[in-house]
């Protein structure tokens, strides 16, 4: 007996035990489409997104500190205005991302409480100090540069509110990266002392910037599932490699040396070979034992406490407005 062909416009049947909602989720992912807050999603997908988006939001907020450190000491009014705008952008990024996470059913208070209790992660990079003005250049060039490399693919993340937040964030990060490059370029065109300051700063930030992409692929427990769900599009090592490829020609224009004696072009593979990253240092920072972890967290706690009266006043005002509305409705 011949089996008639299955018409190809009929969707494949759900696997046994798959609910219609789950099948719809699987179909959306398979079609590289977007999942929206109204859609059903597996609990593990929701948790992964809450984890990644809240960590990302915390990174933006804690990330204001190393640069905030230089606002009052920027070398000119122009530099001060640019730095101020950049730090404000980071606050804005934090807010878009907290809002995106809130669509997944977690509250802003829950996320903030986890951060100030020291239970939430934020990017390892912000646990390093920024003692010189050149650090404003290195943070822009290397840290925002790494962020762009990691975040441009996240504009296509399967979760709608996250992907859309990333589009605007990436546009602003591009400006941040350019302003950092320009600070370093000006220093490299300056005096011997300024050139030395720029090089010393690049030496300190280079390796921690490479660690921003996360552990190596064979030690990255979340990558495989996040890639299946179209949250991550490239692996940690792929993005790190892409970043180094971007940096080499830019370092040549700047005239700075990337502090990796093993960095060289591999003709056969078509990528740069690099030296070994110090993963022990990375894990120490993740455990809270980096050079500035304690200081960063204490500063965030103090700011939260100092802002308590603002939150209370805003809540009291909202209550009064709501009461007025009810009175008008009754009258
Ligand atoms: N630092 O399985 P893996 C910015 C954790 S802000 C700390 O590879 P995943 C800027 C990871 O969370 C830049 N922790 O994880 C702001 C996981 O631990 P848990 C922030 C890290 O999620 C102001 C464990 O290690 N960017 O640009 O698949 C001024 C195993 O890792 C780090 C983002 O947040 C790290 N570097 O991949 C200037 C981007 N790396 O959660 C600039 C969004 C890994 O299981 N996030 N861990 O306890 C991502 O793209 C991904 O979450 C990561 C990690 C690539 C970071």
- As a whole number, the mean pLDDT across the chain is 94
The pLDDT value recorded for residue 16 is 67
| Closest atom of ligand 1 relative to the 147 alpha carbon | 27
Domain containing 81 — which CATH number? 1.20.1260.10
Q: What is the arithmetic mean of pLDDT over 24-44?
A: 97
The pLDDT value recorded for residue 330 is 80
Domain coverage including residue 124: 20-300
Tell me how many domains the chain contains: 1
| Closest atom of ligand 1 relative to the 53 alpha carbon | 43
Confidence band for 329, pLDDT divided at 50, 70 and 90: confident
| Closest atom of ligand 1 relative to the 226 alpha carbon | 28
The binding-site residues of ligand 1, defined as CB within 6 angstroms of any ligand atom, are 51-52, 55-56, 59-60, 63, 90, 121, 123-124, 143-144, 147, 150-151, 211-215, 220-223, 226, 232, 236, 286
Residue nearest to ligand 1 atom 48, measured at CA: 121
Residue nearest to ligand 1 atom 31, measured at CA: 220
Residue 37 lies in a domain: yes
Residue 246 lies in a domain: yes
pLDDT tens across 103-124, in order? 999 999 999 999 999 999 999 9
Q: What's the CA gap between 45 and 41, in Å, rounded? A: 7
The pLDDT value recorded for residue 99 is 98
Q: Work out the burial of residue 40: count CB atoms within 10 Å of its CB; fewer than 13 is exposed, 13-18 middle, 19 or more buried.
A: middle
Residue 218 lies in a domain: yes
The pLDDT value recorded for residue 155 is 97
User: Ligand 1 centroid to 164 CA: how many Å?
Assistant: 19
Residue 122 lies in a domain: yes
Residue 217 lies in a domain: yes
User: Ligand 1 centroid to 59 CA: how many Å?
Assistant: 9
The pLDDT value recorded for residue 7 is 42
Sole residue written with tokens 């730090």: 87
Phi-psi region for residue 4, left (φ > 0), alpha (ψ -120 to 50) or beta? beta
Cβ atoms of 71 and 84 closer than 8 Å: yes
Q: Tell which one of 138, 222, 224 to mutate to probe ligand 1, the residue whose CB is within 8 A of the most ligand atoms.
A: 222
The pLDDT value recorded for residue 328 is 86
User: Ligand 1 centroid to 236 CA: how many Å?
Assistant: 10
The pLDDT value recorded for residue 12 is 46
Residue nearest to ligand 1 atom 45, measured at CA: 222
Q: What is the arithmetic mean of pLDDT over 146-172?
A: 97
The pLDDT value recorded for residue 1 is 45
pLDDT tens across 258-306, in order? 999 999 999 999 999 999 999 999 999 999 999 999 999 999 999 999 9
Residue 111 lies in a domain: yes
- Residue 140: name the closest of 181, 91, 79, 92 by CA: 181
Q: Radius of gyration over alpha carbons of the chain, in Å?
A: 23
Residue 100 lies in a domain: yes
pLDDT tens across 169-223, in order? 999 999 999 999 999 999 999 999 999 999 999 999 999 999 999 999 999 999 9
Residue 309 lies in a domain: no
């Amino acid at each position: 007996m011949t089996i008639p062909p299955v018409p190809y416009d009929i969707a494949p049947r759900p696997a046994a035990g798959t609910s219609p909602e789950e099948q719809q989720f699987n179909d959306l992912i398979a079609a590289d489409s977007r999942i929206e807050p109204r859609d059903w999603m597996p609990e593990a997908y929701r948790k992964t997104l809450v984890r990644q988006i809240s960590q990302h939001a915390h990174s933006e907020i804690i990330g204001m500190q190393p640069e905030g450190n230089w606002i009052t000491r920027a070398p000119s009014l122009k530099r001060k205005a640019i730095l101020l705008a950049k730090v404000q952008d980071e606050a804005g990024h934090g807010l878009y991302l907290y809002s995106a996470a809130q669509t997944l059913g977690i509250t802003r208070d829950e996320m903030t409480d986890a951060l100030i209790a020291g239970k939430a992660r934020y990017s390892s990079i912000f646990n390093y100090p920024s003692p010189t003005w050149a650090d404003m250049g290195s943070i822009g060039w290397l840290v925002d540069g790494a962020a762009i490399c990691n975040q441009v693919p996240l504009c296509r993340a399967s979760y709608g509110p996250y992907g859309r937040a990333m589009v605007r964030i990436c546009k602003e990060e591009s400006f941040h990266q350019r302003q950092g490059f320009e600070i370093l370029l000006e220093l490299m065109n300056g005096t011997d002392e300024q050139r030395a300051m720029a090089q010393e700063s690049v030496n300190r930030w280079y390796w921690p910037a490479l660690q921003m992409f996360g552990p190596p692929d064979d030690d990255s427990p979340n990558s495989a599932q996040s890639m299946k769900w179209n949250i991550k599009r490239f692996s940690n090592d792929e993005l790190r490699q892409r970043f180094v490829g971007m940096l080499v020609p830019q370092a040549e224009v700047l005239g700075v040396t990337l502090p990796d004696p093993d960095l060289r072009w591999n003709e056969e593979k078509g990528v740069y070979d690099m030296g070994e990253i110090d993963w022990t240092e990375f894990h120490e920072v993740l455990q809270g034992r980096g050079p500035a972890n304690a200081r960063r967290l204490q500063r965030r706690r103090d700011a939260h406490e100092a802002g308590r009266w603002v939150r209370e006043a805003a809540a009291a005002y909202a209550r009064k407005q709501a009461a007025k509305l009810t009175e008008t409705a009754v009258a």
